Amino acid sequence: MNFDVIASIMTIVGLSTPILLAGLGELVVEKSGVLNLGVEGMMLLGAIGGFAGGVMTGNPWLAVIAAAAAGAFGALLFGLFTLSLNSNQVATGLALTIFGTGLSSLLGLSFTGRIVMPFGSIFPPVIAKHPFFQVFFGYSPIVYFALIMVVAVAWFLNRTRGGLILRAVGENDLSAHSIGYSVIGVRYAALAFGGAMAGIAGAYFSLVITPMWAERMTAGRGWIALAVVVFAGWKAGRLLIGAYLFGILMWLELFAKAGGFTDFLPAAQAIPSQFWAAMPFLMTVVVLAIISSRETGGGNAPACLGKPFLPSN
């Protein structure tokens, strides 16, 4: 079997993009001091929201907006419980995942077997289908959107006043509150952004990878996105590297299944493909163990991460 570099790179980009999108959203959420474990649920809501939007309007751009709205809906529901009603963030996040899985399955019943127009490349076919240049221009606009958002999120967090306020809220909510910033308001805004990004990440599955609906089609990628945020040390640039590293790990499974190791590394071909499938999750555990055992103990984590905001009147 020949090793097709172009096709491999395009597959890796396709696998990495949803992790990158969902991870960027979660990065902003966690920087504001909220731990939303419901990424998987919001991705599924976005997947069905985007698919439903695509079937009803026939316009992929409107479908992506519908996906973002569906993801943000899930996030605001999470915000209602954790921010306004001070519930436990970990348990509420898990509840959101269960809720998103159930609701997307239920809504998806009426869309099973239907297809949407795949959200393909926007560049002219001359370069989008070119045997070499497709590696740059052959992707869905969502891929470029994800890369732009890496720069935008890094710029927002480190170079703008709004980003400074958001980080202040995440590092010390009481101080931010005492100088007059609305902690709850900032956190609601961050959650809505994170939900919209997770929704678009979900739509990447139902509009781009396979333009049809399948139950639980995001296949646990939301959990990997959560791990990549920690892996990246809450930095947008490193998140890009982390997402693509995990993309490569997931591609290895497909590569092994297709018999890619046969020619140059027969020993690796003997390893069952389930081992490669487990690799990203194994990697997650290893990375988390290394980071938390270091002297700083993952010192980049926002100080108020996961703690409820309780101003003492």
Decide whether 6 or 184 has the Cβ nearer to another protein. 184
Query: Binding of another protein at residue 282 (CB under 8 A)?
Result: no
Query: Binding of another protein at residue 214 (CB under 8 A)?
Result: no
Instruction: From residue 290, give the alpha-carbon distance in Å to each of 88, 149, 285.
Output: 27, 28, 9
Burial letters 74-99, b for 16+ CB under 10 A, else e: bbebbbebbbeeeeebeebbebbbeb
- Give 138-184 as a 3 state SS string: CCCHHHHHHHHHHHHHHHHHHHCHHHHHHHHHHHCHHHHHHCCCCHH
Beta bridge partners of 115: 212
- Which residues lie below 8 Å from residue 282, measured CB to CB, with a gap of 6+? none
Quick note: the x/- pattern for another protein over 95-134, rule CB under 8 A, is: xxxxx-xxx-xx--x-------------------------
Q: 66 near 50, Cβ under 8 Å? A: yes
Query: Binding of another protein at residue 86 (CB under 8 A)?
Result: yes
Query: Binding of another protein at residue 85 (CB under 8 A)?
Result: yes
Interface size with another protein, residues (CB under 8 A): 21
At closest approach, how far in Å is the CB of 237 from another protein? 33
Q: 226 near 306, Cβ under 8 Å? A: no
At closest approach, how far in Å is the CB of 106 from another protein? 5
What are the φ/ψ torsions at residue 305 (nearest 5 degrees)? -60, 120
Query: Binding of another protein at residue 174 (CB under 8 A)?
Result: no
Which 236-265 positions form the footprint of another protein (CB under 8 A)? none
Cα 228 to Cα 217: distance, rounded to the nearest angstrom: 20
Q: Which of 10, 55, 62, 94 touches another protein (CB under 8 A)?
A: 94
Cα 57 to Cα 61: distance, rounded to the nearest angstrom: 10
Query: Binding of another protein at residue 292 (CB under 8 A)?
Result: no
At closest approach, how far in Å is the CB of 11 from another protein? 23
> Residue 271, SS3?
coil
Decide whether 92 or 140 has the Cβ nearer to another protein. 92
Cα 154 to Cα 229: distance, rounded to the nearest angstrom: 13
At closest approach, how far in Å is the CB of 28 from another protein? 24
At closest approach, how far in Å is the CB of 220 from another protein? 12
At closest approach, how far in Å is the CB of 103 from another protein? 6
At closest approach, how far in Å is the CB of 102 from another protein? 3
What does the binding site for another protein look like in residue numbers (CB under 8 A)? 77, 81, 85-88, 91-92, 94-99, 101-103, 105-106, 109, 313
